Amino acid sequence: MLENWVVMPTCLPLVLRRCHTCTSERFRANGKFRVNAHHKLLDAWLLVLCTGCGETAKLTVLERMNVRSVRPELLDRLHDNDPGLAAELLQDPVVRRRNRIALDWAGAWRLDTGGSDHLDREVIDVSVRFAARIRVRPVQLITQGCGLSRAEVERLITEGKLVSAVRLSGKLSGDFTFTLKR
């Protein structure tokens, strides 16, 4: 029987970027936006706060866009400081590349396994789905979901009792499946 696990975000991730005021490299996004109009051109930024000194930095969302080319729903969400929009934009590769940022998901996600009734079975087939692009080590998910130690999971991989089509030793942000034989 196939078990379905879901990796879900619990809050917005930290933004990794150097602060110009202090030595901190982490910023917290609180879902606030700033929209500025220059005649018929719009600029929009996602505001992030330094975790060290509280300094505000701006992540560019829109730059010199014609007002008519911006969807009204997007403009409304920017004006309403929609936290869902902030989450979407932080995961957008174009926004991350434009602003030269990375995300730190430590402590900002949880694993939903749907219960612990699978722990006593001999063979477990698991499909792991990501609700957001969260880069996590599959070994960490397996240790958390199956209640095993990291060393035991590593041993099961080397013995061939834990198999997957993807490499389990690196980090992943996409859906995958694995089979565990005890």
**Distance of alpha carbon 67 from alpha carbon 131, whole angstroms:** 32
Looking at residue 118, what is its pLDDT?
64
Q: Which residues pair with 124 in a beta bridge?
A: 180
Q: Classify the phi-psi angles of 14: left when phi > 0, otherwise alpha if psi is within -120 to 50, otherwise beta.
A: beta
Averages of pLDDT over runs of 10 residues in the chain (182 residues) are: 90 94 93 93 96 95 94 95 93 94 93 77 90 92 91 93 90 92 83
Looking at residue 54, what is its pLDDT?
93
